[in-house]
Structures are given as C-alpha cells and as structure tokens.
C-alpha cells in the first residue's frame, strides 16, 4: 500500500508536475482510484486500469470534457499530462487523472422527491448532450455491463446459487428475449453513461450535483440509461413504481421519451436487475467479489421480488399516466362477455361475479388486462409456477426442432417415460401418454375392461374424472349433479369416506375400514364381478376430502378379489403437491394397478397419462392398436421432463410440505377464533376450508364461502369453492 502510494506520488510528480500532499485510495470497481491533493490546493482523482485502454480513455475524455464544458462543476475533466496526453502507459497499466468533484453519494442520502427530481434533471441534460455525440470508438465497444446484450450472460445463470433468484432471473431473460429483442432495432440509440447507480451520483446541498464514473459508457438504447438510474432509485422502496416518478417526469420534460421506450422500460429495468445479479453471483463464484458486491446484492434481490409482482402493463400505464401519455381504456366487461358468448356456449362458465380478463402470469402471480396483480392460490395446473422459464424454453426449443407422433422413434419419449416411471413403485412400469386427464381416465377404464372382461365400475360419491362420455359415466359429481342423468347400469357409487361430514359410525373399526366394509357389501349386492374401482386420494370436487385413513388399504384387496383393477386418479394430487409424498396413493399405503395423470404434468401444456403394470399393458396389446396423435409427442415429453427437473431442482415437494403445514397451522389458529371454520384439511399445498354455520351442526355455509371467494378476488387473491354444497374453499396454488 505504501509502495503503491509512493509509486502514485512519483507518477503524479513526473507526469503532471504536481506536488502531492495527500494520496488516498478510493473504492473502485475493476480499477484503482486515488484521491490526490496537491501543494497548490487542487484535488484530483488518479486512476490506474489494467491493460492498455488508452484508446478507450481518450474517447471517455472527449465525452467528459464536452460535458464538463457544458455543465461546469458537474462532470470531471480529463487532466492532461505535462506533454498533453489524456493517459499514459506504466508497467502495462493505463494511468490518467481527472478533476475532483465534491459531494456526498446519492446512496447515502434520503431519496426525497426533490432530490430524485434533481437527479432526473441532470441525467436528462447529460443525455441530451450525449445524443448529439458520435464516437466510433464507443460505438464499437462491447462490455458485459450492457443491458441490451444481457442475454449473452445466460451461460452464467448457473452461478446463481439461490434457486428462487435463479428462476426469476431466468424468467426475465426469457421475457427480455420476447419483448425487447424484436424491438431493439427500433429504439433510439446513443452514447449513454450506463451506470447511474447511486454510488456514481454526487449530491450537494440537497440536490444532485454531479455524475462520475464513465467507465461503462456504451452505445445503447437511450431508455437503457433511464432504466439503470431507475433501478437504483427504486431499490429499498415500498412502492417502486411511485418512487420512480419524480425522476421520470422531469427527465421527460427535458428530454422527451417515446411511447415505445416507456413500454419497454419495465423490461430494461428487469434486465439491469438481472445483469447486476448475474455479475455479482458470478463474482462470488469466481472469488472476485468484494464487500460491496455482497452488500449491493440484497436490495437488488428485494427489488427483483417486488418487480415480479408488478405487471408490465401496470408499469407502463403508471409511467404513461405520469408523463401525460394516453393509457389504454379499462376493460369493458360487458363488451368482453358479449363477444365471448357470441361464439362460446354459456355452458362454459366464467369465474367470479366480476370476471377477470387475464393477460399474463409469472409463477404465483397472474396479471389482468388492466395491470392488476393477483396472487394465485388456486390454479394447480401451473404446478411449478406460471410461465416457468425452464418449461417454456423446453417447449420452445423442442417445438423448433421436432414434433411428431409415437410411431417414430425419438429420444424424448423414452427419456421422459424413464424419468416419470422412476417416480413410481414397482410394478407400475408402463405408461400410455394422452393429452388430458379426461382422456387418461377414459383410457384407464378401457384398459380395465379389456384386462378383466368385466363391466362394473365402482366410483366414489362426488368424484370427478373427466369430460368424455366415459368420464361423465364414472363421475358422480356429473351424472349425479345438475343436468346429470343418473348412474349407468354398470356403475356402483360408493359413499365418500369423509371423516368430517360422513355418516359412518366406526364401531370397532377405523372410519376408513367401516366405509370400506360398507363399500364391499354394496358391491356384493350387485352380484357382478368388477372391472375397476377409481378414486382420488383426496376428493377435490367432493370438497378437498382426504379419503379416511385405512379406507384404500382395506378396500383395494376386496376390489381385486372381485376381479377389478384399482385406479388412483392423481390428476390433482400427483407430482409432489401432497408434500409428504410424490403421489397421493402413497399416503394411503397402497399401490394401485393403474394411475391416471394430467393437469400439472405439463404445467399447462395439455398432457395426460395412464401408468400401469407390464401385465396389464401386455394384455392391452390385443391386436387393436392404441394410438394418440399428440400423446407422448416430443414437445410434450420435453415439457414434462422440464417439469420433473424443476420439481427436483427447486425441491418443490419439500416446499409444499413446509409451506402447506405452515399455512394449515395458521388456518387452524383462525379456526379457533372463527366458529364458521368447521374443518381445515388437506395435505401439502392441497387445502380445503370447510365453512359451516355452526361447528356443532356442521351445516354447510355456502353463502359465506361464496362471499369470501368474491371478497378475496376483490383483494386480488384467487381461490375457488367446491364440494356438494359449494361451501369448501379450495386452494391448490402453483
């Protein structure tokens, strides 16, 4: 250190002819900076950079000198050496001197609206000047800290060790690719400072007085300049969008922004956040991170988590509103519904008294067309999160390469089948791919008929298994519900083994065993041999009712004794949502003969499957080909594979257990307080709240359930209701 100071002292004397009275090292990124005081009371910054950067620094000096001339005292001057050079080489390093600017860092100041407004003002004035400059050296410059090229840093994504942060960054890289890349050629470009972070902004007497560190200047979209500045304006703010407005409005007044720039500002800010995080995690991994890297990372991560809850439409509308641009008219739901019903039958229902027009979604959030954010506590299909980038990209990539049917050989089918089946216990080792849960349950019944040569199917009260004809035939929820035509003659409907609302007295048996006993006597009364028994481990449409403990264990052997196959419908319960187990049947300590899969399998991409045994699959090979045009196609397989990868990498089953237990504990605390909460039940992130008028009578409180569902919707939280009385709030969040 002393040696370094001595060296600086010597260089300053020799090259500039000054007599230093103070040499003090300053914090810096990528280079060494020294504060110099001279005998004649002048102050400078002496900078040493690795390598020969003279050409670059000459360009930087040209810009600085122009700005310093135009805005005296606000920008540093390049100080020439005795022989008139802006920089010189010393031992393979480039050295130069800049004038000193007094001031405190914006980072250390209270960000009042007034202060941020002065920041916007100086930035706009600077950029107005920069817009006029043409500089081929800077135009040719490529650095990593350049948001427009942030996608080039994707290979470094894996350095982000926190899976939560990694998936958000990955999401925004994908969004940047989709939203910004096609528009890049249409954006105004100029030389920009490109690093208006609050450690590069000086404050004097309550106003921004200077901008330093032009080390990252690049030729880039002007809006990138605004985005970088706003990123740091918005960190550690409760309302990031609001906090951006004082800067933005004055900037726009001085240097008017264009609508297309405002529309992309959201993505450029996200881009800067991602760039900063990729670089800092990479530096940590490389071992080159300093204290500042670690300190500055935290608030940026917080901003990222705030940003993901804000829709681009909301940001763009708020910015446009503040700047006096026209904003799109609010959704007219009357018009929307009229349009929908013109061609779509009314049998397709619409959720909520006040419907929602959805525009986009990200992980646990959904965004409507007007920019509102909803917390999705209801949709279980986007299992690993809405628009999860791993899943989307897997689909995009495969769609661009090959999509065909199972009559050809392709790797994706075998690889995915292998990975999926590894999740099942023996002897479940064969899979048939289809395109929905309905198709899967339909196929399962067809396979059961084929294997057993029997017709009778036992189903559970309130069960739902699909929308095909056979799906309706085996769904008491449908054939026994509104518009239903009752059971077909091959159906036996067994009572729902519901420990909360069920009628079964247990006597010596457990509730589950008592229900199984009753089921067996009902089946025997028919006198028919069985083809199948199908049930969900937790009956969703029945009101999130977990089958009573011991029920399946007692019933499965009896079904098999009567010739039938046991089918577990895991469309809702599968893929780790139960928390304690990957599949619902595992909770009940049984292994079915067939498993029906759907919903979460493709995270929204239409996929379904029947998983069964060798023996049953072999018997199905009876001469009549089984073929599904789309089932098991390479795109579906790639997507299904990505879903399984994400579940593992992000430990989502463990997350379901931990979060679900926490949630249910909290709900049970509420239950003690509110007598209308009759029962809180479920497993992992598959939760039902049974609302009653009185806990003693257990009279369903349908009205309250509907009221709460709609009230929650007004508070931008999505849940649904179900059960025979529609009094159970169901939550199965992504």
Q: Are 205 and 307 in contact (CB under 8 A)?
A: no
- Least separation, in Å, of the C-beta of 596 and ligand PMP? 6
From the list 98-106, 260-268, 432-440, 543-551, the region that binds ligand PMP by CB under 6 A is 432-440
Q: Are 520 and 701 in contact (CB under 8 A)?
A: no
Among 438, 493, 504, 683, binds ligand PMP (CB under 6 A): 438
Nearer to ligand PMP, 306 or 438 (CB): 438
d(CA 721, CA 704): 11
Stated as kind and residue range, the H or E segment containing 268 is: helix 259-286
- Least separation, in Å, of the C-beta of 383 and ligand PMP? 13
- Least separation, in Å, of the C-beta of 720 and ligand PMP? 11
- In the DSSP assignment, the letter for residue 76 is P
3-state secondary structure of 452: helix
- Least separation, in Å, of the C-beta of 162 and ligand PMP? 33
- Least separation, in Å, of the C-beta of 444 and ligand PMP? 10
- Least separation, in Å, of the C-beta of 548 and ligand PMP? 18
Task: Please name which of 88, 84, 105 lies closest in space to residue 49, comparing C-alpha atoms.
Answer: 88
From the list 331-339, 433-441, 654-662, 689-697, the region that binds ligand PMP by CB under 6 A is 433-441
- Least separation, in Å, of the C-beta of 197 and ligand PMP? 48
Task: Pull the structure tokens for residue 146.
Answer: 């350049």
Among 441, 568, 603, 613, binds ligand PMP (CB under 6 A): 441
d(CA 249, CA 229): 13
Position with the least CB separation from ligand PMP: 437
Nearer to ligand PMP, 599 or 681 (CB): 599
Nearer to ligand PMP, 120 or 537 (CB): 537
Task: Pull the structure tokens for residue 320.
Answer: 């446009």
Using CB under 6 A as the binding rule, whether residue 437 contacts ligand PMP is answered as yes
Using CB under 6 A as the binding rule, whether residue 604 contacts ligand PMP is answered as no
- Least separation, in Å, of the C-beta of 514 and ligand PMP? 24
Q: Are 539 and 463 in contact (CB under 8 A)?
A: yes
Q: Which residue has the tokens 């960190």?
A: 235
- Least separation, in Å, of the C-beta of 386 and ligand PMP? 17
d(CA 215, CA 340): 55
Among 213, 282, 536, 593, binds ligand PMP (CB under 6 A): 536
Task: Pull the structure tokens for residue 353.
Answer: 């008294």
- Least separation, in Å, of the C-beta of 362 and ligand PMP? 23
Distances (CA, A) of 28 to 45, 97, 400: 11, 15, 45
Q: Are 211 and 196 in contact (CB under 8 A)?
A: yes
- Least separation, in Å, of the C-beta of 519 and ligand PMP? 19
Q: How many CA atoms lie within 13 A of 625 on its CB side?
A: 5
- In the DSSP assignment, the letter for residue 649 is H
Q: Looking at 100-204, which runs of residues are DSSP E strands? A: 104-105, 189-192, 201-204
Q: What is the CA radius of gyration of the chain?
A: 33
Interactions with ligand PMP, residue window 401-430 (CB under 6 A): none
Q: Residue 211's beta-bridge partner residues?
A: 201
Q: How many CA atoms lie within 13 A of 322 on its CB side?
A: 20
- Least separation, in Å, of the C-beta of 624 and ligand PMP? 23
From the list 46-54, 219-227, 268-276, 436-444, the region that binds ligand PMP by CB under 6 A is 436-444
Among 240, 540, 543, 550, binds ligand PMP (CB under 6 A): 540
- Least separation, in Å, of the C-beta of 528 and ligand PMP? 24
Residue 683 φ then ψ, to 5°: -155, 135
Q: Are 543 and 690 in contact (CB under 8 A)?
A: yes
First to last CA, the chain: 55
d(CA 361, CA 349): 21
- Least separation, in Å, of the C-beta of 686 and ligand PMP? 11
Nearer to ligand PMP, 263 or 536 (CB): 536
Nearer to ligand PMP, 269 or 728 (CB): 728
Q: Are 255 and 127 in contact (CB under 8 A)?
A: yes
Nearer to ligand PMP, 464 or 515 (CB): 464
| Polymer length of the chain | 734
Q: Are 571 and 578 in contact (CB under 8 A)?
A: no
Nearer to ligand PMP, 74 or 465 (CB): 465
d(CA 667, CA 658): 14
- Least separation, in Å, of the C-beta of 394 and ligand PMP? 20
- Least separation, in Å, of the C-beta of 232 and ligand PMP? 46
From the list 169-177, 297-305, 431-439, 683-691, the region that binds ligand PMP by CB under 6 A is 431-439
Distances (CA, A) of 213 to 75, 216, 369, 475, 720: 9, 8, 41, 69, 54
Interactions with ligand PMP, residue window 543-602 (CB under 6 A): 569, 571-572, 598-599
Using CB under 6 A as the binding rule, whether residue 436 contacts ligand PMP is answered as yes
DSSP letters of 400-439?
Answer: HH----TTS--HHHHHHHHHHHTTS-TTEEEEEEESSHHH
**237: burial class by Cβ within 10 Å (0-12, 13-18, 19+)?**
middle
Nearer to ligand PMP, 466 or 550 (CB): 466
Binding string, 157-176, against ligand PMP, x = CB under 6 A?
--------------------
d(CA 497, CA 513): 9
d(CA 258, CA 708): 43
Nearer to ligand PMP, 165 or 611 (CB): 611
Q: Are 122 and 80 in contact (CB under 8 A)?
A: no
Interactions with ligand PMP, residue window 177-206 (CB under 6 A): none
Beta strands across the sheet bearing 201-204: 104-105, 201-204, 207-211
Using CB under 6 A as the binding rule, whether residue 678 contacts ligand PMP is answered as no
Query: How many residues touch ligand PMP (CB under 6 A)?
Result: 15
Nearer to ligand PMP, 169 or 637 (CB): 637
Nearer to ligand PMP, 202 or 535 (CB): 535
From the list 60-68, 153-161, 434-442, 583-591, the region that binds ligand PMP by CB under 6 A is 434-442
Task: Pull the structure tokens for residue 608.
Answer: 């379904």
Nearer to ligand PMP, 465 or 501 (CB): 465
Nearer to ligand PMP, 390 or 730 (CB): 730
Nearer to ligand PMP, 430 or 599 (CB): 599
Nearer to ligand PMP, 317 or 441 (CB): 441
Nearer to ligand PMP, 562 or 599 (CB): 599
Task: Please name which of 275, 34, 55, 329 lies closest in space to residue 152, comparing C-alpha atoms.
Answer: 275
Give residues with Cβ within 8 angstroms of 173, minimum separation 6: 150, 151, 154, 157, 274, 389
- Least separation, in Å, of the C-beta of 203 and ligand PMP? 58
Nearer to ligand PMP, 280 or 441 (CB): 441
Binding string, 456-485, against ligand PMP, x = CB under 6 A?
--------xxxx------------------
d(CA 416, CA 571): 18
Binding string, 207-226, against ligand PMP, x = CB under 6 A?
--------------------
Nearer to ligand PMP, 434 or 511 (CB): 434
**Contact set with ligand PMP (CB under 6 A):** 436-438, 441, 464-467, 536, 540, 569, 571-572, 598-599
């Amino acid at each position: 250190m002393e040696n370094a100071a001595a060296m600086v002292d010597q260089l300053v004397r020799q090259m500039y002819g000054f007599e230093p009275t103070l040499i003090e090292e300053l914090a810096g990124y990528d280079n060494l900076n020294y504060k110099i005081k001279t005998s004649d009371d002048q102050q400078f910054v002496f900078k040493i950079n690795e390598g020969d950067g003279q050409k670059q620094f000459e360009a930087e000096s040209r810009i600085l000198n122009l700005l310093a001339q135009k805005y005296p005292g606000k920008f540093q001057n390049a100080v020439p050496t005795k022989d008139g050079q802006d920089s010189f080489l010393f031992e393979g390093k480039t050295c130069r001197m800049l004038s000193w600017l007094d001031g405190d860092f914006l980072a250390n100041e209270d960000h009042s609206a007034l202060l941020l407004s002065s920041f916007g003002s100086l930035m706009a004035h600077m950029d107005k000047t920069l817009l006029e400059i043409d500089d081929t050296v800077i135009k040719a410059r490529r650095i990593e800290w350049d948001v427009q090229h942030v996608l080039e840093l994707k290979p470094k994504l894996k350095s982000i060790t926190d899976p939560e942060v990694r998936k958000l960054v990955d999401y925004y890289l994908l969004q940047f690719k989709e939203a910004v890349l096609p528009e890049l050629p249409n954006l105004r470009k100029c030389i920009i400072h490109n690093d208006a972070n609050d450690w590069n902004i000086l404050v004097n007497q309550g106003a921004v007085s200077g901008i330093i560190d032009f080390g990252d200047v690049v030729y880039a979209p002007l809006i990138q300049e605004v985005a970088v500045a706003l990123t740091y304006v918005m960190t550690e703010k409760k309302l990031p969008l609001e906090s951006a407005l004082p800067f933005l409005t004055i900037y726009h007044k001085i240097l008017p922004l264009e609508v297309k720039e405002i529309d992309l500002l959201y993505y450029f800010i996200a881009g800067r956040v991602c760039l900063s995080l990729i670089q800092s995690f990479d530096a940590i991994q490389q071992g080159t991170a300093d204290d500042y890297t670690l300190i500055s990372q935290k608030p940026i991560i917080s901003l990222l988590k705030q940003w993901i809850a804000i829709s681009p439409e909301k940001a763009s509308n708020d910015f446009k509103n503040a700047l006096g641009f026209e904003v799109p008219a609010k959704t007219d739901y009357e018009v929307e519904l009229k349009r929908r019903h013109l061609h779509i039958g009314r049998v397709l229902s619409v959720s909520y008294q006040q419907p929602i027009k959805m525009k986009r979604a990200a992980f646990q959030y959904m965004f409507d067309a007007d920019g509102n954010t909803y917390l999705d506590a209801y949709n279980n299909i986007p299992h690993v999160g809405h628009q999860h980038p791993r899943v989307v990209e897997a689909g995009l990539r495969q769609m661009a390469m090959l999509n065909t049917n199972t009559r050809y050989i392709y790797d994706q089918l075998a690889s995915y089948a292998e990975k999926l089946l590894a999740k099942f216990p023996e002897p479940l080792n064969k899979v048939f791919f289809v395109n929905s849960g309905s198709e899967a349950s339909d196929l399962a019944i067809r396979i059961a008929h084929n294997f057993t040569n029997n017709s009778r199917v036992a189903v559970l009260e309130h069960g739902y298994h699909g929308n095909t004809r056979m799906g309706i035939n085996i769904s008491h929820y449908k054939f026994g519900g509104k518009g239903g035509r009752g059971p077909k003659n091959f159906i036996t409907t067994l009572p729902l083994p519901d420990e909360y609302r069920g009628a079964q007295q247990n006597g010596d048996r457990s509730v589950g065993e008592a229900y199984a006993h009753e089921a067996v006597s009902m089946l025997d009364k028919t006198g028919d041999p069985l083809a199948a028994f199908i049930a969900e481990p937790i009956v969703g449409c029945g009101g999130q009712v977990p089958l009573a403990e011991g029920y399946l264990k007692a019933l499965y052997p009896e079904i098999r004794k009567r010739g039938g196959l046991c089918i577990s419908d895991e469309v809702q319960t599968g893929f780790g949502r139960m928390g304690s187990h990957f599949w619902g049947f595992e909770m009940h300590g049984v292994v079915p003969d067939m498993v029906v899969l759907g919903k979460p399998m493709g995270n929204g991409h239409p996929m379904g499957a029947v998983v069964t045994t060798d023996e049953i699959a072999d018997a199905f090979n009876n001469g009549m080909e089984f073929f599904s045009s789309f089932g098991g196609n390479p795109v579906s397989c790639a997507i299904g594979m990505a879903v399984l990868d994400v579940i593992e990498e992000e430990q989502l089953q463990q997350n379901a257990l931990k979060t679900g237990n926490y949630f249910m504990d909290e709900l049970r605390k509420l239950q003690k307080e509110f007598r209308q909460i009759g029962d809180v039940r479920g497993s992992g992130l598959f939760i039902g709240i049974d609302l009653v008028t009185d806990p003693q009578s257990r009279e369903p409180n349908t009205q309250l359930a509907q009221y709460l569902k709609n009230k929650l919707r007004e508070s931008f939280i999505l849940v649904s209701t179900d059960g025979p009385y529609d009094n159970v709030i169901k939550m199965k969040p992504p």
